[in-house]
Amino acid sequence: MLQESEIQSIKQRFGIIGNSAALNHAIQVAVQVAPTDMTVLITGESGSGKESFSKIIHQLSARKHGKFIAINCGAIPEGTIDSELFGHEKGSFTGAHEARKGYFEVTDGGTIFLDEIGEMPLGTQARLLRVLENGEFIKVGSSKVQKTNVRVVAATNVNLLESVEKNRFRQDLYYRLNTVPIYVPALRERGSDVLLLFRKFASDFAEKYKVKPVKLMDDAAVTIQKYRFPGNIRQLKNLVEQISVLEMDRNIMAETLLKYLPQESNYLPALYQPSERDDRSAHEMSEREILYKLLFDMKKDLNDLKKVVYDSAKNGQLDPGIIKGNQDLFGTMQEDASESDKDQKKSPYPLDSGNNIYDDYEEEKIEDIVHETEQDDSLSLEKKEKELIIKALRKNNNKRKQAAHDLGISERTLYRKIKQYDITE
């Protein structure tokens, strides 16, 4: 068990500020596991400072003189992540003009920090598992097995067990990575640490901008400790910088502070809400699914609008001739009373059968027409999407990065679309 003085020494060395019990426990575990070669999984919310703990583990280990590389798995396109991590041979794929060493070869004898490990593709996960189990890897386009002696420290801000249940993360890799778990607490779980961090950032920005440091008054100190800080330390740092630059009065009251604290509610409409049966998260939803959702919502709004028009005409608030003059929208007039009765039974909005103007509304027929149109649209959307991708690639001489930028999508999404539509570059 580390003494209080030893923990404080570690904090000073690695720039960690705070005295909460949860933070001290995370440091304690990191220091204890550092001298070993055990794989470590660091969990915690985005912006909580997980990378600092990977540096503690590396610097206090026997590998401290070896290389340390931090890699964001979510920032590397799916089509190139294998090449980045394990290297490739010359000519192994389009654009591979020369052989390249991967991070696992370059960092032999050192430590690799794999941030956002939950975003790693399943195929790459299988390759990583082999490295962890046997210290072996194969370059892309090669059949030669190579050895490496690399310590892996992984981090994630998602629940990997849920990803395992939804088949987005390998179960065997999860248990291999989770040999020693370290949980980095969120800022809202650290109590008065937020005040210590505020003073530190205020002092740093005062020196940077040559101004007097801002200071929280008592009411502002109470307010800031109640705020949840979804962006954690990163959000707090940006907040202090804004206040340091924009406020003339260096004594910050609660009223002033609240102007810089965003409301913890989402003002954007939710395009999609996964059902209990849907095992995919919202960020995996394709562009086409979003479009379908919008179409269905528009169709519902149109049907609701038709009902309002019918009710208004029925009550004498609108001229019934409006409906007669828009047969293509409201359906064919039915003169036969018995046929009108059938229509009334089928309609989700029961109408007065004594007036044939209202009896001819056939909800089911309208839905069939809309459904057929949507099927045609889906085919044309796919065709148009493929054509746009081909045009963008030709325009940019098959350079995917520039093509993705022109299309307004990520390079990873573009790569997936190229494979989906079997586009030859």
**CATH label of the domain that carries residue 391:** 1.10.10
Asked whether residue 98 carries a pLDDT value surpassing 50, the answer given is yes
Question: Cα(305)–Cα(319) distance, rounded to whole angstroms?
Answer: 16
Assigned domain for 284 exists: no
* Amino acid 287: pLDDT: 59
Could you tell me which residues come within 8 angstroms of residue 421 by beta carbon, excluding any fewer than 6 positions away? 382, 385, 386, 389
Whole-number average pLDDT of the chain: 82
Note whether residue 242 is domain-resident. Answer: yes
Q: 377-421 pLDDT, tens per residue?
A: 444 567 778 888 888 888 888 888 888 888 878 888 888 888 888
What is the residue-wise DSSP string for 277-303? T--S-GGG--HHHHHHHHHHHHHHHHH
Calculate the CA dihedral of residues 393, 397, 399, 403 and round it to 10 degrees.
-40
Query: For residue 373, is pLDDT > 50?
Result: no
Does one domain contain both 177 and 199? no
Per-residue pLDDT, averaged over 109-115, amounts to 97
Q: Is the pLDDT of residue 325 over 80?
A: no
When pLDDT is averaged across residues 111-116 and rounded to a whole number, the result is: 96
More confident residue, 3 or 150: 150
pLDDT at 317: 63
Q: Which of 199, 233, 258 is the last residue of a domain?
A: 258
Lowest mean pLDDT among 104-118, 171-185, 242-256, 290-304: 290-304
pLDDT at 355 over 90: no
One domain for residues 106 and 27: yes
Q: Dig out the tokens for 197 from the structure.
A: 């961090």
Residue numbers of the domain that contains 201: 190-258
Reply yes or no on whether the pLDDT at 275 is more than 50: no
Residues 219 and 95 in one domain: no
* Residue 118: DSSP 8-state: G
Asked whether residue 282 is domain-assigned, the answer is: no
Of the residues 150, 185, 220, the one at which a domain ends: 185
264 or 256: which leads in pLDDT: 256
Q: Are residues 129 and 75 in the same domain?
A: yes
Cβ contact 160:175 at 8 Å: no
Nearest by Cα to 142 from 76, 78, 86, 84: 86
Predicted confidence band of residue 328 (pLDDT cuts 50, 70, 90): low
In CATH, what number is assigned to the domain containing residue 227?
1.10.8.60
pTM above 0.75, yes or no: no
How far is residue 391's CA from residue 19's CA, in Å, rounded to a whole number? 57
Percent pLDDT > 70 in the chain is: 76
Exposed e or buried b per residue across 196-213, where buried means at least 16 C-beta atoms within 10 angstroms of its C-beta: ebbbbbbeebbeeeeeee
- Which of these, 236, 38, 242, lies nearest to 153 by C-alpha position? 38
Read off the pLDDT band of 331 (50, 70, 90). low
Domain boundary among 151, 168, 185: 185
As a whole number, mean pLDDT of residues 105-112 equals 96
Q: Which amino acid is at 144?
A: K
Average pLDDT (253-274) is: 69
Mean pLDDT over 145-168 rounds to 95
| 172-230 pLDDT per residue, tens | 999 999 999 999 999 999 999 999 999 999 999 999 999 999 999 999 999 999 999 99
Q: Are both 163 and 204 inside the same structural domain?
A: no
159 in the same domain as 61: yes
Q: Is residue 270 part of a domain?
A: no
Q: Are residues 100 and 163 in the same domain?
A: yes
276 falls within a domain: no
Does residue 226 lie within any of the structural domains? Answer: yes
Q: How far apart are CA 88 and CA 144, in angstroms?
A: 11
pLDDT, position 398: 85
CA-CA distance, 251 to 215, in Å (whole number)?
5
Q: Are residues 99 and 235 in the same domain?
A: no
Instruction: Count the domains in the chain.
Output: 4
In CATH, what number is assigned to the domain containing residue 116? 3.40.50.300
Quick check: is 263 in a domain?
A: no
Residues 117, 232: one domain?
Answer: no
Q: Sorting pLDDT into bands at 50, 70 and 90, what band is 364?
A: very low
**pLDDT at residue 126 in the model:** 95
Instruction: Using the structure block, give the residue that is written with the tokens 């909580």.
Output: 48
Q: Does residue 8 lie within any of the structural domains?
A: yes
Please indicate, yes or no, whether residues 334 and 402 belong to a single structural domain of this protein: no
> What is d(CA 196, CA 11) in angstroms, rounded to the nearest whole number?
13
Higher pLDDT, residue 101 or 358? 101
Residues 30 and 156 in one domain: yes
**What pLDDT does residue 293 have?**
65
Least confident range from 42-46, 79-83, 145-149, 385-389: namely 385-389
Per-residue pLDDT band at 335 (split at 50, 70, 90): very low
State whether 350 and 212 are in the same domain.
no
